[in-house]
A and B are shown apart, each in its own frame.
Chain A
Amino acid sequence: MSATPLLELRGIDKSFGPVQVLRDVALSVHPGEVTALVGDNGAGKSTLVKCISGIYPTDAGEVLFNGEQVHIGSPRDAATLGIEVVYQDLALCDNLDIVQNMFLGREKHSGIVLDEPTMEQLAAETLAGLSIRTVTSLRQHVSSLSGGQRQTVAIAKAVLWNSKLVILDEPTAALGVAQTAQVLELVRRLADNGLAVVLISHNMNDVFAVSDRIAALYLGQMVAQVKTTDITHAQVVELITAGRSGGLGLATDPGSNGDGPQPADSISGGVR
């Protein structure tokens, strides 16, 4: 674990009109680690990810990447820094094959012609580097892949670009047991290869299986960021549902978290 976090957020605020979705959020993500981002529906996980990936502008706060302050104004900025997001769905085109999907929007050319052999080779190398052995042909359409294979391709797509930080938005939500294990193993391997990984998940088993640190969001506030080994299953659930657990989380001040943020919860849930 290195001393400087790869990505550090300080005091991030984000509102949608009158609804404050993120409030003074701090987060640090280290290379070679899986940081699990947990929180209930509407806690602001997806909004936070969209702020990091440049889809939403933030209202306040600063973002440090490799210790330097950066401004992420668009998904392209994020990609330039080496931040890749793997979304739960909507990430792949069914009618294109694996290679075409992995290079979508960033195709390799020779002249104006697509350089298919190079792309196919690079894709094969990336998949081999991640020890992905579940796809039979790189030229099969994504439509013919299982959910786990799709997620694998989506993750490989994110890794292809020498990315430094990979954010996975509930990668196992729609998967079966074997496929989940497969994807989690891949997530672990990404971190072991030296990448910083942020894993958004609802599933405590997944979180405890692969993560090094857990960051818990509660109603738009970062209530705790701790090492996975220092916390129990039950404590994380308490942090997610109540925002505090023993000495962790919000100070016992019911006024600050009383009725006010409740509507924010439901409305930001719709925004996700």
Chain B
Amino acid sequence: MTTTAVRKEGPAAVTPPPTVGSHVRNYVSRVRGGDVGALPAVLGLIVLCTVFAIMRPSSFLSAGNFANLFTQGAAVTLIAMGLVFVLLLGEIDLSAGFASGVCAAVLANVVTVLGYPWWVAVLAAVATGVVIGTTLGMLVAKIGIPSFVVTLAGFLAFQGVVLLLVQEGTNISVRDEVLVAIANRNLAPALGWALTAVAVLGYAAVQLLRHRNRAARGLITDPIAVVALRIAGLAVILGTAVYVLNLERSRNVLIVSLKGVPIVVPIIAVLLVIWTFVLQRTSYGRHIYAVGGNREAARRAGIGVDRIRISVFVICSSMAAIGGIVAASRANSVDPNTGGSNVLLYAVGAAVIGGTSLFGGKGRVFDAVLGGAVVAVIENGMGLMGYSAGVKYVVTGVVLLLAASVDALSRRRAAATGTR
């Protein structure tokens, strides 16, 4: 003790109040230490956008294509947001894709075949997701089958269920106005601006209140300049995006006017805020991280580990249901391939590319949005370049592998430098 005690004075007195400079230095040292966070995804997004912008300047950079990116990536992003919860525990849900298909098929059956109003169909679809998630979670947590096997079985079985629900290969169209609007209509430009203002002001209020609260109690706070920079950054990014989305993007304005923020964007934003709140600001979220970081420590801390494990599968399948609803809306129909083919791979890829660890304990819901953007840009840009579906699959597969390698390597680096 005597050897170490002389160095430092006390927990509060040790750290000097952080400045903007120390903040930046801390970040750099964290990245060097292997905690890369969202950096690879952001860099990847910039590189991809630059490449596509140079190769296809007129089509990739158009406002219409920018709006397309959101609707293209929405379903995958929503499924990925749910997958983050499962990945946080170090588990996997391979059935999320077809679970979204099953829920979409339920939606289509309820609204088109049975003729109920749209909200009944949405509730039925989400309820289906809850049931699927509960079943998967029980099998994993209570019976103890590895999640990989349970959800692989689910992957096969749900594929069959979708086929049965859509009567062997036909498709069910979804014509309900509200449901179709989700992925195909836009907010009025003024409403888009209003929501942006609400989002930025809300974020600013939360950040400033926290800053004031901590400062009042004499706790270490981020420098006010950093807080202001965060708020300004959000305002600039949201403002630019909304401005571009509010541009006229119809080819012939006389026939139809096409402008505004796609309706899926606020849906994703609201779910992002809700789930981020749950993960970062409630004990339930804290316990998810704890179980993912060290299950035994969590158990000894009195956390109901089984309950947490079941609940993340419920969240994942419910989010898959919402993803399925959006997919059904975008296609105006549900067919046997809804939620199939590359949807699951893209969703897992989105979460991992965004920075969620496959080893558990590390990840944010925002990762799914960021990774979803990367996946959507690849899919979209490659399409514009005229590459075949085959090339797209190969490239996406390679990108997923790259992201997983970054995850594994940063973990090793973190272990070597002692930051993990």
Contacts and interface: CB of A to CB of B under 8 A. Distances in A.
Given A75-B302, A90-B300, A132 B11 contact: yes
Contact of A107 (B5, B8, B286, B296): B286
B4 A182 contact: yes
B298 interface: yes
B223 to A, nearest CB: 15
Given A75-B302, A128-B10, A137-B15, 12 more contacts: A90-B300, A93-B293, A93-B298, A96-B286, A100-B290, A105-B301, A106-B301, A113-B282, A117-B217, A120-B219, A144-B419, A144-B420
Contacts of A96: 286, 289-290, 293
Given A124-B11, A127-B11, A134-B4, A93 B289 contact: yes
Interface string B259-295: 0000000000000000000000111001101101110
A133 B213 contact: no
Residue in A96, A106, A121, A181 whose Cβ sees the most chain B Cβ within 10 Å: A96
A114 B281 contact: yes
B205 to A, nearest CB: 14
B217 A121 contact: yes
Residue in B220, B294, B302, B361 whose Cβ sees the most chain A Cβ within 10 Å: B294
Interface string B194-220: 000000000000000000011001011
A93 B292 CA distance: 9
A135 interface: yes
Interface in B275-330: 281-283, 286-287, 289-290, 292-294, 296-298, 300-303
B414 interface: yes
Residue in B214, B300, B303 whose Cβ sees the most chain A Cβ within 10 Å: B300
Interface in B26-85: none
30 contacts: A75-B300, A79-B302, A90-B296, A90-B300, A91-B297, A91-B300, A93-B294, A93-B297, A94-B361, A95-B289, A95-B362, A100-B289, A104-B290, A104-B301, A105-B303, A106-B301, A107-B286, A114-B281, A117-B213, A124-B12, A127-B11, A128-B10, A134-B8, A136-B15, A138-B11, A143-B418, A143-B419, A144-B419, A178-B3, A182-B1
Contacts, number: 116
A106 B283 CA distance: 9
Nearest to A140: B419
A109 to B, nearest CB: 7
Contacts of A90: 294, 296-297, 300
Contacts of B419: 141, 143-144
A181 B5 CA distance: 11
Given A104-B301, A135-B11, A143-B419, A114 B290 contact: no
A112 B282 contact: yes
A95 B293 contact: yes
A240 interface: no
Contacts of A227: none
A92 interface: yes
B9 interface: yes
B14 interface: yes
A141 to B, nearest CB: 7
Given A105-B298, A117-B213, A178-B3, A137 B293 contact: no
A98 to B, nearest CB: 9
A94 B420 contact: yes
A104 B420 contact: no
- Cβ-closest 8 pairs across A and B: A105-B301, A93-B293, A95-B293, A95-B361, A104-B301, A105-B302, A143-B420, A90-B296
Contacts of A109: 283
A114 B289 contact: no
Contacts of A114: 281-283, 286
A104 B214 contact: no
A53 to B, nearest CB: 9
Contacts of B282: 112-114
Contacts of B12: 124, 128
Nearest to A135: B11
Nearest to A90: B296
Residue in B3, B283, B303 whose Cβ sees the most chain A Cβ within 10 Å: B283
A104 B297 CA distance: 9
Contacts of A95: 289, 292-294, 361-362, 420
Contacts of A124: 11-12
B361 A93 contact: yes
A94 B294 contact: yes
Contacts of A106: 301-302
A192 interface: no
Nearest to B282: A112
